[in-house]
Copies of this chain bind each other. A is one copy, B any other.
Amino acid sequence: MQLMNTFDRLFPITRSITGNGVRETLKILGELVPIEQTETPTGTACFDWSVPREWNIRDAYVLDRNGRRVIDFRQSNLHVVNYSVPIRKKVSRAELLEHVYTIPEMPEAIPYRTSYYKESWGFCLQHKRLAELKDDQYDVVIDSTLENGTLTSGEGFIQGASEREVLLSTYVCHPSMANNELSGPLVTTAVYKELLSRKNLRYSYRFLYVPETIGTILFLSRKGEHLKKNLAAGYVVTCVGNKSEFTYKRSRQGNTLADRAAVHALATSGSPHSLIDWNPDGSDERQYCSPGFDLPVGSLMRIPYMKYPEYHTSLDNRSLLSEESLQESVSMYLRIIDTLEANDVFINQQPHCEPQLSKRGLYPTLGGAQSSSEIVQKLMYLLAYSDGQYDLIDIANKLKLPAASFRPQIEQLLQAGLLARQT
């Protein structure tokens, strides 16, 4: 599955928190995995918020006195402030400049700006091009609509053996930007597709594709109580496409199963990585971990939002991404899921002294060699620590080996009656 091919179809779309861009994005991803789209009408209340009017845009430009498009939405959808109200008027240079946003320190970058909750209009421009605006008067056209409509949410679900759920949450509201945000839905979809092919999943899996903030708040207004009861672990999938090392941002509680599985997967991967504590600067973990929910939701990223210079500009483009980096991110999320699937608490059924493994063919019969093999170590550690206080992640951490790699030894010990799964 070549994620960059899908990237190339999604990148040009003008997404926002509502509108056709989201629908088109979910339709393309829906060719790869089943995504159920839900439409929620403008004005629907969700906690302190309500669904805004729906925004769509066809074109936007600024004409100079020669009728030349000096700022042109068709060249880059970042040129218009997202959620700009429709406008068509002549403005003086001074008035225009009040509505033009640039980044002086990054003269090559078009900034990404939004105005979701205040009616406004504006343009974003490379700072180096500001000097070209020399005419005294301009024609400003924004051919957008801001009307009652719906907000579009996408959701996928795989039923596992248990009602306990794992959530991957990603967002689909940014126009043409690559690492933040398209890497998120792409990696989520690849993980989703892989899990569809698996049998005997223990957990159920939920995949959420919504506009950031408002989409997640809407989701929590419907499913928050359900998640409080059933969520085993969740992750916000974002900024997973560039080449930098992994960063895991813990949940607010800091040591939930979500955190322990992610930290274990990273630690046993051999990949360099950083761990950071939760804080309310960030993405949708702000909602999942708000004090009323405080869910076990972290976020595995590579370099996080706000920490790379191209963030929220036109420079966050295809060149930051690679198929290899995206696939590495897919693999790391699958390592976390493998950890969750494997983790359990076992109870040693012969806890008084070691059981005699050799009589069951589980121990080398020739003693005295320098050190016991990794296989014997796994058997010994499982027996030594399976007293109900340590789960498999704890035990695997002691040997610095992946939890999932203990499966054969667990099977042997279960079959020998030496371990039992805690119920």
Contacts and interface: CB of A to CB of B under 8 A. Distances in A.
A367 B224 contact: no
Interface stretch (A25-33, A89-97, A263-271, A279-287): A279-287
A311 interface: yes
Interface string A68-110: 0000000000000110000000000000000001000000000
Interface residues of A, number: 65
Contact of A118 (B122, B279, B365, B381): B365
A38 interface: no
Count the copies. Answer: 3
Contacts of A101: 366
B290 A116 contact: no
22 contacts: A46-B353, A48-B350, A111-B368, A113-B368, A117-B365, A122-B366, A216-B353, A220-B353, A221-B353, A224-B352, A252-B384, A280-B384, A281-B377, A286-B384, A287-B353, A290-B351, A291-B383, A291-B385, A291-B386, A292-B351, A292-B353, A312-B369
A226 B377 CA distance: 30
Interface string A370-387: 111000010011011111
Interface in A327-358: 348, 350-356, 358
B367 A47 contact: no
A40 interface: no
A351 B217 CA distance: 12
A112 interface: yes
Given A118-B365, A280-B384, A351-B291, A370 B286 contact: no
A281 B117 contact: no
Nearest to A279: B398
B306 A370 contact: yes
Given A311-B370, A370-B312, A290 B112 contact: no
A380 B117 CA distance: 18
